[in-house]
Structure 1
Amino acid sequence: MRRRARYTLPLAGVLLLAGAAAPAAAERAPGREGLVQLRRDVDALYATGATGVLAEVSGSGRPLTARAGVADPATGRPVAANARHRIESTTKTFVATVVLQLAGEGRLGLDDPVRRWLPGLVTGGEAVTVRQLLGHTSGLPDYADDLPLSRATSKQQFDSERFRPIPAEQLIAMAMRHPPVFAPGQGWAYSNTNYVLAGMIIERVTGAPWEQAVHDRIVEPLGLTGTVLPGTSAHLPSPRLAAYQRLRPGSEPVDVSTRVAGHADASIISTPEDVNRFLRALLSGRLLKPAQLREMQATRPAEPFAAVWDEPGYGLGLMKRRLPCGGWAWFHGGGWWNAITDNAVTADGSRAVTVFLAGSLDPGQDPTTQAKASARLIDHALCADR
């Protein structure tokens, strides 16, 4: 995920799971006690610095939903239960799923060199493979901090950039100005560049935009009616959970929800219900063949996130962490410009929880307390009745 008082990859780093729960426990809905706990946890998360919070837990029974704060400080309207939010790097799990589907169909190989599909684009990265892109082991530098939008320190600067789409090739060129972080396959480092390239490979293999593949293979089959693939549109549809950001300490917060974010690393807009449905379908084996799901869940340690999660690991577009009640939770959160998403699902897909947070942290403010509060909410939701 990216980063700017933003979790970028999930810390969240913001930003920002394999054993199974006992089947009998996993099949039971959390019930009224679970709803009371969810409301407490949402209030606690809101108190860490937010304008609005929305969380939903989905299982075999009726979903549990809790909200706090407002959908938009400018209007004071309450947060809608079906609010749309920029899910940022959770986009990566959708994209990785499509790549793995194509691999399962024999249309590409995970160990194909990137140059096979995108010749000449990754300078000096002839050894980088599709697998390394999905698992952040490519060593490719992250383009995100070179974005003009990332450097905005005034509303005027932000407004001058928010509607300007940047072609994927230009983002890759930004990254290629920097030396590799390490030789391909010789380390782990989160980089949004990897998933811009993954989206471009999907387009080369399918002959259509990566958004079309995600829609046709995931959004439409699962009935994700609240999910939007915005392309070059800067609009966040209503009902929305708006994010505000001070561009420098002491300045007035700016509504940063309206902005172009049209690439395969972090652009999908969705609802908690849809994210939960996607995660449950993924872990229950509805979207990937067993061999490809195993590839996705083959993780390596992701130490940068150990400050928030126990034993974090990163697979191919999917993370895992140890649950306090035993077993693992699988997830991929994300966040930028105070628009934060956290989520997790049990290993068998029987229960999932998604948290949307419109944060109010200033640039440079440590998000660790906030990330830990969200992790506790998810722990309680997934460990209920266990």
Structure 2
Amino acid sequence: MQVLLDGFQQDYGFPGATAAIALPDGNVVSVASGHADREAGTPMTPETRMLAASIGKTFVAMTTLLLESDGVLARSDLVSDHLGDRSWFSRLPNHATMTVGDLMRHGAGLPKRVHLERFQAEMAARMYGGTDAIPSEDAIAFVVDAEPLFPAGEGWAYTDTGYLLLGFVIEEASGATYYDLVTDRFLGPLGLNATTPSDTPALPGLAVGYVAIDNPFGLPPRTMDEDGRLVWDPAMEWTGGGLVSTSRDLAAWGHALFGGEAMETPYLDRLLDSIPVSPDAPSIQYGAGVAVYAETPRGPVLGHGGWIPGYVSSLRHYSDHGVTVAFQINTDVGIADDSTDLVPALEAALADLAIELTDEAGEQ
């Protein structure tokens, strides 16, 4: 693993990365390469943390399934049953018909606000100025009065807006904050001690993130100041992602999640209750915060990716082999604009290594 990751770091020239493999027995092996802070020469270590971005959706979806197991809500609930009294709710696309399950699977027909020019301008202004994040209700307001992309439950379109709504549903139904729930019911019991809310610019143990000079948010190439604080507020993510973690924790989470061990009540059938992301790719589906690739050269693959300025993360579980692979990189240069094959190449190389080692151990 170390040789593999070092080779990728040298070939692709990214600042640093961590990678972890969770073996079928639950043991996790983790390595690091490169620098957590290139200017200071601080080496990356397996304990270095990075923003996990949209991998956090796996935790949000599981928190929703947890509340369903507790009898607090149901995936079939209309979202209006929980949020209908909010002043802005009736102005949302498909407000009268979308369900909690639609939100979880990105099937609610909501536009993706991050593609809207006025949202990007607001984000850039706040990031560049180092001001507070856009409050979640204000972020949702960017899609009020918009036309739905399709009738609720009749299509698929990835959108963080739906997961912000899911956060409000979780808190309205449970009477607790999302971060308290995910910490008390998942992070603590599963020993994911390096994973915490990314709700402040000051996150201990965080690697410096690096972005392109011409990034759309007007951020400096180095997204951390001299005091170790992010120059922008990651609280903008909330239930769109909202966690800082390590590759080791992400791999351990994937092992528990996809092995059916994340909570006592059975949930895998609900987690993997998925819809196609495109009529042209029926074998690629999306379940409860989980991408499902039914047909790959390595068998079925479950997982999620994550991108946020300066950080890229990947979580993949290879069902036929019982192994989970995770990695984090402290730059999005060339990745955010798809001008490099780094992420799929590293996913494939780590998967092949994990599968080879697992198969060899089985033969012995």
- 1:128, 1:179 → 2: CA distance? 14
Out of 244, 247, 259, the position equivalent to 2:210 is: 244
Which residue number in structure 1 is paired with residue 242 of structure 2? 267
When residues 153 and 331 of structure 1 are mapped into structure 2, their CA distance, relative to the original with a 3 A threshold, is closer
| Paired letter, 2:197 | L
Gaps of 5+ in 2: 225-229, 360-364
CA deviation profile, 1:284-334 (whole Å, cap 9, x unmatched)? 22224665320111222334997xxx9432111011225755421211111
Q: Is the 8 A contact 2:113 2:119 kept in 1?
A: no
- 1:249, 1:197 → 2: CA distance? 28
- 1:171, 1:337 → 2: CA distance? 18
Out of 224, 229, 235, the position equivalent to 2:202 is: 235
When residues 146 and 209 of structure 1 are mapped into structure 2, their CA distance, relative to the original with a 3 A threshold, is farther
Which one is further off, 324-333 or 112-121?
A: 324-333
2:53 aligned with 1:88, yes or no?
yes
2:253 aligned with 1:278, yes or no?
yes
| Paired letter, 2:196 | V
Out of 89, 92, 96, the position equivalent to 1:126 is: 96
TM-score with structure 1 length normalisation? 0.79
When residues 118 and 368 of structure 1 are mapped into structure 2, their CA distance, relative to the original with a 3 A threshold, is farther
Deviation at 1:228, TM superposition (A): 1.1
Which residue number in structure 2 is paired with residue 357 of structure 1? 329
- After TM superposition, list the pairs within 5 Å mapping 1:86-165 onto structure 2: 86-119=51-84, 120=86, 121=89, 123=91, 124=93, 125-146=95-116, 150-151=120-121, 158-160=127-129, 162-165=130-133
Q: Is the 8 A contact 2:107 2:153 kept in 1?
A: yes
Out of 137, 151, 171, the position equivalent to 1:183 is: 151
- 2:46, 2:106 → 1: CA distance? 34
Deviation at 1:41, TM superposition (A): 4.8
Gaps of 5+ in 1: 1-34
When residues 157 and 218 of structure 1 are mapped into structure 2, their CA distance, relative to the original with a 3 A threshold, is closer
Q: Is the 8 A contact 2:19 2:31 kept in 1?
A: yes
Which residue number in structure 2 is paired with residue 30 of structure 1? none
Q: Is the 8 A contact 1:153 1:248 kept in 2?
A: no
CA deviation profile, 1:198-246 (whole Å, cap 9, x unmatched)? 1111110111211111011101111111111133x112321x2221113
Which residue number in structure 2 is paired with residue 21 of structure 1? none
- 1:249, 1:199 → 2: CA distance? 29
Which one is further off, 274-283 or 54-63?
A: 54-63
Secondary structure of 1:186's counterpart equals: coil
| Paired letter, 2:34 | G
Which one is further off, 356-365 or 63-72?
A: 356-365
Which one is further off, 192-201 or 287-296?
A: 287-296
Q: Is the 8 A contact 2:19 2:326 kept in 1?
A: yes
Q: Is the 8 A contact 2:18 2:30 kept in 1?
A: yes
Out of 26, 33, 43, the position equivalent to 1:68 is: 33
Secondary structure of 2:313's counterpart equals: strand
Structure with more relative contact order (C-alpha pairs < 8 Å, separation 6 or more): 1
| Paired letter, 1:314 | Y
- 1:236, 1:367 → 2: CA distance? 30
- 1:49, 1:175 → 2: CA distance? 39
When residues 126 and 247 of structure 1 are mapped into structure 2, their CA distance, relative to the original with a 3 A threshold, is farther
Q: Is the 8 A contact 1:279 1:349 kept in 2?
A: no
2:255 aligned with 1:316, yes or no?
no
When residues 51 and 100 of structure 1 are mapped into structure 2, their CA distance, relative to the original with a 3 A threshold, is same
Q: Is the 8 A contact 1:249 1:362 kept in 2?
A: no
- 1:144, 1:291 → 2: CA distance? 35
How many positions carry a matched residue from both structures?
Answer: 343
TM-score with structure 2 length normalisation? 0.84
Which residue number in structure 2 is paired with residue 18 of structure 1? none
Out of 175, 178, 183, the position equivalent to 1:210 is: 178
- 2:335, 2:352 → 1: CA distance? 30
Q: Is the 8 A contact 1:211 1:229 kept in 2?
A: yes
Out of 123, 129, 138, the position equivalent to 1:170 is: 138
Which one is further off, 340-349 or 278-287?
A: 340-349
Deviation at 1:87, TM superposition (A): 0.1
- 1:40, 1:363 → 2: CA distance? 19
Which one is further off, 207-216 or 371-380?
A: 371-380
CA deviation profile, 1:56-85 (whole Å, cap 9, x unmatched)? 112237533332221112212110111111
Secondary structure of 2:12's counterpart equals: coil
When residues 351 and 135 of structure 1 are mapped into structure 2, their CA distance, relative to the original with a 3 A threshold, is same
2:7 aligned with 1:39, yes or no?
no
